[in-house]
Amino acid sequence: MSETRESDGAGDAAETGLGRLLRLMAALRDPVRGCAWDVAQTPATIVPYTIEEAYEVADAVARGDRDDLRDELGDLLLQVVFHARMAEEQGAFAFDDVAHAIGDKLVRRHPHVFAPDGTLLPEGSALRDPAQVEAQWAAIKAQERADQRAARGSAESAPDPLGGVARALPALARAEKISRRAAGYGFDWGNAVQVVDKVREETDEVAEALAASDQRAVADEIGDLLFSVANLARHAGIDPEAALRDGTAKFERRFAAMAAHLAAAGGELGRSELAAMEAAWQAVKRDEKERAG
C-alpha cells in the first residue's frame, strides 16, 4: 500500500499537483496540527458533499463553463482524496490503490484496446462500433459479478441479474440503469413508440387511482409512470436526469419571465388571477419561439 507524505511544509519544486493535494489533505487530517472540521469527518459525513460535487461538475458541463468545470473537477477530486485519506488512516487502502484499481479495471474492460499487461494492441485491432463496445463492457461486468459471487462462496452465489446498481443514485437515474440492465437480457420494448404507449397506459392507471381516491395506489401508479418515462428516455437516447434538469431550468426561466410580464402589466405574482398568469405564460412561450425562429 502506498505511503502519503505527512509533511505539511511547502514541498519541493518537483512536487506534482496531485502529490501536493495528497500532502495537504494529510496535513488537514493531522489530529494535532490539522483542521478540526476535517479531522472530525467520516466517510458517512463526507458522502453528501461527494454527491453534491458530482452534480456541480454536471452543471458546469451543461453550462459550457470551462473555467468553472476546472474548479468543480478539483472539488470532486478533493472528495476522492478525502475518502482515500480516511481509508488509509484505517489501514484499508490509499489513493494509489484506488488509482491502480481503476487502471486495472480499464485494461480489463477494454480488451479491444489493451493487452492484459496494459500495452496498446496493434493499430486497427479495436472495435469501432460503440454498441459492440458497450455490449462487451456489459458482458465483462456480468462475468466480474459472477466471479465475485463465486469467491464469496456458495451461500452467496445465487445470481442477482439486476444487482450492482447503486441504491444511492437519484431515483430517475437508477430506474434508467435498472431498465438498461433488464434490456441486456432481452426484456425490453421493441422501440420508443411502444414505450410511449406504455406511458399512456400508466397515465390512465394514475387517473383511475385518483378517481378512486386511493392514495397508496396513486403513489404506486405514479412510480410505474416515472419508471416508464425513464425507459422512454433510454429508448430515445436521452439522459433522463439531464432532461429533467433542463426541463426544470426551462420552467424556472419561464416563471421569472412570466412574473416580469405580469409586473409590466401592473400585476403581481400571488395576487393575479390564474387566467392572467396563464396569459403571461403563453406570452413568454411566444416570445421564446419568435427569438428562436
d(CA 12, CA 66): 29
d(CA 268, CA 252): 17
SS3 37: helix
CB 141 within 8 A of CB 164: yes
Q: Measured at the alpha carbon of residue 174, what is the angle toward residues 143 and 62, in degrees to the nearest 5? A: 110
CB 236 within 8 A of CB 192: yes
For 234, half-sphere exposure in the C-beta direction (CA atoms, 13 angstrom radius) is: 24
Other Cβ atoms within 10 Å of 53 Cβ, number: 19
Residue ranges in 35-65 assigned as alpha helix (H): 36-40, 43-63
Nearest residue to 183 (alpha-carbon basis) of 206, 213, 212, 162: 162
Cell numbers at 4, concatenated: 502519503
Topology of domain 171-238, per CATH? Helix Hairpins (1.10.287)
pLDDT tier at 162, thresholds 50, 70, 90? confident
CB 98 within 8 A of CB 84: yes
Domain ranges of the chain: 17-109, 171-238, 242-292
Q: What is the structure's pLDDT at 125? A: 72
Q: What is the structure's pLDDT at 3? A: 42
Q: What is the structure's pLDDT at 5? A: 43
Contacts of 20 (CB under 8 A, 6+ apart): 11
List for the chain the helix, strand, coil content (%; round to 5).
70, 0, 30
More confident residue, 186 or 161: 186
CB 38 within 8 A of CB 23: no
Q: Is the pLDDT of residue 10 over 60?
A: no
Q: Is the pLDDT of residue 172 over 80?
A: yes
Topology of domain 17-109, per CATH? Helix Hairpins (1.10.287)
Q: Is the pLDDT of residue 40 over 80?
A: yes
Q: What is the structure's pLDDT at 88? A: 97
Cell numbers at 88, concatenated: 488509509
* pLDDT per residue as tens digits for the range 189-213: 999 999 999 999 999 999 999 999 9
CB 136 within 8 A of CB 127: yes
Q: Measuring CA to CA, how many Å separate 188 from each of 122, 168, 173, 182?
A: 37, 24, 17, 7
